[in-house]
Amino acid sequence: MKLTSTRAVRIGTAVVALGGWEAVARSGLLPGTVLPPFSSVVAALYDLVQQSSTWFQFYVSIWAIGLGLAIGAGAGLVVAAVIGISASVWRTFEPLLYYAGSLPKIIILPVLLLYLGTGIYSKVGMGAVSAFFPVAITTAQSMREVKGTYIRAARSLGAGPLRLVTNVYAPAAIGPILSGLRLGLAVAVTGVLLAETSVASAGVGYQAMQYYDNLRIADMYALLLLVLLAAVAANSLLGWLIRHVTRYSQATERVFFT
Amino acid sequence: MTWPRRSGTWLATRAAVVVVFLAAVQAGVQTRLINPLFVATPTTAIAGAARGLANGTLGGPMLTTLYEVAVSLVLSSVAGLAVGYLLWRFTDLGRAYEPWVAGLFAAPLILLYPIPLVIFGRTTTAVIAQATVMAVLPVILYTRQGLAGIDPPLLKVAAVYRLRHWQALRHVFLPAAAPTLVTGLRLGLIYILVGVVSVEYLASIGGLGKTINFAYLQFNMAEVYSAVTCVFILAAVLLAIVGRLQWMVRR
């Protein structure tokens, strides 16, 4: 009963919203360059997915996101392992990391463009800087929450700092670490694609700006829709993976970074 | 491993870390280990920021950015609190829409910034629209979550005192949900800062983001770093205010 009412509300909302979009666009109240009808966006989407050039732009962006995430998350894990192991060090750095992580990363784009050029590596750099903070913060935070008994037990058995990190902290904190990676992916996508809309010669963000500059607004809406769908799909896939990996652990998933 | 210290000592340690970092950059640039064409020394950046704030070349853009942030914050807070409340009050709507809101929140909505540009033109309104849309989602989610997470005994207390719905909301529900609500507002502020500065930079509209972009295009790196310093200051002050609010409602 409840399920059907939920579904009814959703279908009703979707019909009203899309129908309203179509009606307003067709009525001529707004110029077609502002709001193309929903049907023409769908038609543009159908064309886009059949063009190999669209998938080439996706390929470029995914490559930059992947490399950026790998570098940023790798650095984040190393930094977390260093500062997460001591409560004092963590307490000193936590607010600094939080604050730096909350800043809009776009402000360092000029510096990255100078150092890494206008090609793909400045985008990789944006992805890496974006992904670093959520990974470092969630990982270090979850290391601080590993039970003290585990650490004392490992110490008394003669484990050094490196063994502690690899054999105690890493397995105990795997769930939050993966959640951090998921957040890192989300912000890396944002960082890379935003950088592509600024100075670039390839990538999905670049393509969207090309459509915008040429007033191909329906194509732009369709491409952005495709990007959002892909991002949401990747995010839910990772969410499913995290639930699968941590299905035996008792710890509840928490969002530390925002 | 840890030893008891006063919070002032923590603050001093953190300040020392920042000072050491800035001093290292300063030394790196002055010894040319870091390319001085690409990176301005921290002293140049801070002096430039102070000068720009005093003579208005950075103060003006900073006020524009502050105005956009403030309007977005008010709009997204009012709309987010209202929608979050409605989604809590009418459970059918909440069940239907919450996964949608959460899904949108997980999507990189900042990429949609060409859409407000198309609709509102290259104006501060477009910046505000983009930031508001991004920030309203966490406020909705955390408002509903905060209200839904109220201890059931508190609901009973409100019923026992025969409070009207609005009285209960004002005296019982809102205070009980306040910590979660403020967390939502803090998230909203972070998204607004990102949205406002990014759109300003990328579309060259409005305040500090535009200043950074222009200075970069003129290869005026001292100005870039001075404007970035202003973004640091603005963000630090706003985040500190919301952090203070968070601390107050937790007590």
Domain match, A126 and A157 both: yes
Domain match, A137 and A26 both: no
Contacts of B208 (CB under 8 A, 6+ apart): B58, B61, B62, B64, B65, B197, B200, B227, B230, B231, B234
Asked whether residue A250 is assigned to any structural domain, the reply reads no
Q: Does A115 touch chain B (CB under 8 A)?
A: yes
pLDDT given for residue A110 in this prediction: 87
What's the first-to-final CA gap in chain B, in angstroms?
28
Asked whether residue A252 is assigned to any structural domain, the reply reads no
Rounded to two decimals, the ipTM of the complex is: 0.82
Residues 15-34 of B with CB under 8 A from A: 17-18
Angle at B199 between CA B193 and CA B200, to 5 degrees: 85
Domain match, A21 and A104 both: no
Contact B142, B183 (CB under 8 A): yes
Ordered DSSP codes for A160-228? -HHHIIIIIIHHHTHHHHHHHHHHHHHHHHHHHHHHHHHS-SSSHHHHHHHHHHTT-HHHHHHHHHHHH
CA distance B222 to chain A (A): 12
**Closest-approach residue (CA) in chain B for A86:** B1
Domain match, A63 and A176 both: yes
Residues 89-108 of B with CB under 8 A from A: 92-93, 95-97, 100, 103, 106-108
Domain match, A166 and A229 both: yes
B117-127 tens-digit pLDDT: 888 888 999 99
Domain match, A8 and A49 both: no
Q: Does A186 touch chain B (CB under 8 A)?
A: yes
A12-31 tens-digit pLDDT: 888 998 888 888 888 877 77
pTM of the model: 0.86
Q: Are A227 and B108 a contacting pair at CB < 8 A?
A: yes
Residue B58 three-state SS: coil
CATH of the domain at A91: 1.10.3720.10
Domain match, A211 and A183 both: yes
Q: Which domains does chain B have, with CATH numbers?
A: 49-250 (1.10.3720.10)
B212-233 tens-digit pLDDT: 999 888 888 888 999 999 999 9
Domain match, A20 and A112 both: no
Domain match, A55 and A91 both: yes
pLDDT given for residue B16 in this prediction: 87
Domain match, A94 and A123 both: yes
Q: How many CB pairs under 8 A join A and B?
A: 140
Asked whether residue A152 is assigned to any structural domain, the reply reads yes
Asked whether residue A144 is assigned to any structural domain, the reply reads yes
- Rounded to whole angstroms, the maximal C-alpha distance in chain A is 77
Residue A142, domain extent: 36-245
Between CA B192 and CA B202 the distance in angstroms is 15
Asked whether residue A46 is assigned to any structural domain, the reply reads yes
Residues 180-219 of B with CB under 8 A from A: 186-187, 190, 193-194, 196-198, 201-202, 209, 212-213, 215-216
Asked whether residue A1 is assigned to any structural domain, the reply reads yes
pLDDT beyond 80 at A252: no
What count of other Cβ atoms lies within 10 Å of the Cβ of residue B142? Answer: 24
B5-64 tens-digit pLDDT: 567 787 888 888 888 888 888 888 888 888 888 888 888 888 888 898 888 888 899 999
pLDDT given for residue B251 in this prediction: 59
Q: Are B96 and A186 a contacting pair at CB < 8 A?
A: no
| Chain B residues with CB-CB distance to A114 below 8 A | 37-38, 221
Give B109's pLDDT tier (boundaries 50, 70, 90). confident
Task: Quote the number of domains for chain A.
Answer: 2
B98-106 long-range contacts (CB < 8 A, ≥24 apart) are B98/B141, B98/B144, B100/A10, B101/B137, B101/B140, B101/B141, B102/B141, B103/A232, B104/B137, B105/B137, B105/B138, B105/B141, B106/A186, B106/A231, B106/A232, B106/A235
Asked whether residue A254 is assigned to any structural domain, the reply reads no
CA distance A79 to chain B (A): 15
Asked whether residue A256 is assigned to any structural domain, the reply reads no
Domain match, A132 and A11 both: no
Domain match, A106 and A175 both: yes
C-alpha count within 13 angstroms, C-beta hemisphere, residue B51: 10
